[in-house]
Structure 1
Amino acid sequence: MSGSAKTFPGSARVEMIMGMPVSVDIRTALPARELTPLLDDAFAWLRWVDDTFSPVKEDSQISRLNSGRTIRQIPELIEVLHRCDELSEATGGYFEPRINGVIDPSGYIKGWALERLSRALCNAGAGDHRITAGNDIRVRGSAAPGKRWRVGIRDPREDLVRKVVFAHDLGIATSGAAPVINPHTGMTSDGLTSVTVIGPDLGLADAYATAVYAMDPLPARRFAADLGGSGAYQTMLVTREGQEITTSGFTNYSGAEARLAG
Structure 2
Amino acid sequence: MKTSEIVEPGLAMTFPGTSRVEMVMGMPVSVDIRTALPARELTPLLDDAFAWLRWVDDTFSPVKEDSQIGRLNRGQTIRQIPELIEVLHRCDELRQATDGWFETRINGVIDPSGYIKGWALERLSRALCNAGAGDHRLDAGGDLRVRGSAAPGRRWRIGIRDPHTDAVRKVVFANDLGVATAGGSTVVNPRTGRVEERLASVTVIGPDLGVADAYATAIYAMGPALARRFAAGLAESGDYQTMIISRDGQETSTRGFTAYTGAGARLAG
Q: Is this a same-fold pair by TM over 0.5?
A: yes
Alignment of 1:93-242 (within 5 A): 93-156=100-163, 158-242=165-249
Deviation at 1:156, TM superposition (A): 4.5
Distance in 2, Cα, partners of 1:104 & 1:27: 34
Q: 1:72 aligns with which of 79, 83, 94?
A: 79
| Unpaired segments ≥5 residues, structure 2 | 1-9
Deviation at 1:199, TM superposition (A): 0.2
Distance in 2, Cα, partners of 1:110 & 1:157: 24
SS at match of 1:56: coil
SS at match of 1:181: coil
Distance in 2, Cα, partners of 1:231 & 1:155: 25
The answer to whether the Cα contact below 8 Å between 1:128 and 1:142 also exists between their aligned partners in 2 is yes
Deviations 1:167-190 (A, max 9, x none): 000000000012211111222222
RMSD: 1.3
The answer to whether the Cα contact below 8 Å between 1:157 and 1:176 also exists between their aligned partners in 2 is no
TM-score, normalised to structure 1, is: 0.96
Deviations 1:56-94 (A, max 9, x none): 111110000000111111000000000001100100100
Deviation at 1:102, TM superposition (A): 0.6
TM-score, normalised to structure 2, is: 0.94
Distance in 1, Cα, partners of 2:164 & 2:66: 32
Deviation at 1:155, TM superposition (A): 3.4
Deviation at 1:237, TM superposition (A): 0.1
SS at match of 2:203: strand
| Unpaired segments ≥5 residues, structure 1 | none
Structure 2 counterpart of 1:254: 261
The answer to whether the Cα contact below 8 Å between 1:135 and 1:175 also exists between their aligned partners in 2 is no
Distance in 2, Cα, partners of 1:90 & 1:260: 35
Distance in 2, Cα, partners of 1:73 & 1:153: 39
Distance in 1, Cα, partners of 2:141 & 2:248: 24
Which stretches of structure 1, 4 residues or more, deviate above 4 A after TM superposition?
Answer: none
Distance in 1, Cα, partners of 2:103 & 2:165: 27
Structure 1 counterpart of 2:5: none
SS at match of 2:180: strand
Distance in 2, Cα, partners of 1:94 & 1:160: 30
The answer to whether the Cα contact below 8 Å between 1:235 and 1:246 also exists between their aligned partners in 2 is yes
CA 1:23–1:121: 2 relative to 1, 3 Å: same
Deviation at 1:157, TM superposition (A): 5.2
Q: 1:245 aligns with which of 230, 252, 258?
A: 252
The answer to whether the Cα contact below 8 Å between 1:157 and 1:177 also exists between their aligned partners in 2 is no
Structure 2 counterpart of 1:83: 90
Distance in 2, Cα, partners of 1:156 & 1:244: 11
Q: 1:34 aligns with which of 9, 30, 41?
A: 41
Distance in 2, Cα, partners of 1:155 & 1:95: 24
Q: 2:31 aligns with which of 16, 21, 24?
A: 24
Distance in 2, Cα, partners of 1:39 & 1:13: 7
> AA paired with 1:42?
A
SS at match of 1:132: strand
Distance in 1, Cα, partners of 2:22 & 2:111: 24
CA 1:212–1:19: 2 relative to 1, 3 Å: same
